[in-house]
Amino acid sequence: MATKRVEIGKAFGYGWQGIKKNFWYFVVLAILVIGIKSIFSSEINPALGLVGIFVSAWLIAGYLKILFNYYDHDEKKLPLRKLFSQSKYIWSIAGGSILVGLIVAAGFILLIIPGIYWALKYSMTINLIVDKDMGVMEAMRQSAKMTSGVKMALLGFGIVSFGVFILGVICLGVGIFVATPIVWLASVYVYKKLL
């Protein structure tokens, strides 16, 4: 049985190559997702906070479907309108995000380390809901299996991802629209390899 590995360098190499080959496609995708999510952000408009959870879930389902298709079908690009075509996953993603969020929050209350552990343990939950049509609990169980033995590597991946986002913000702010799809693609690479 092959040993599971999180190849951070290869993951970000995949993300970088994707951006180089399809720059405007992924930048426009990031602009759409970040722009729409920011409109419904509770920080900007507290009255839209609850709506924002479901809008976010809708967008996450859309861009994950696009990214999984890109990975699985030799870099085939779906039309960007597919971003708005995955409403069937809204409830599962919203429910999964809230449940995992509560578990992680409880872990942080218990001296932080359990929160980090549970965040890593269930980090593949939303991917599995969209990619494999799993229910929330099934996806959480499968995520726990997938991340077994590689949590420290996933933590390293998360730290590098955060660094890429910071670089994007430093680049006059607009770099975030390049950094975001690089991290998205790298995350899909890691997920698929663990799968």
Task: Report the C-alpha gap between 121 and 139 in whole angstroms.
Answer: 11
Residue 172, domain extent: 8-194
Given this model, what pLDDT does residue 1 score?
46
Given this model, what pLDDT does residue 108 score?
85
In a domain, residue 163? The reply is yes
What is the tally of structural domains in the chain? 1
pLDDT in tens, 73-84: 988 999 999 999
Is there a contact between 86 and 108 (Cβ–Cβ < 8 Å)?
Answer: no
Q: Evaluate if residue 91 carries a pLDDT over 80.
A: yes
| Stated pTM of the model | 0.91
In a domain, residue 2? The reply is no
Q: Evaluate if residue 56 carries a pLDDT over 60.
A: yes
In a domain, residue 61? The reply is yes
In a domain, residue 3? The reply is no
End-to-end CA distance of the chain: 13
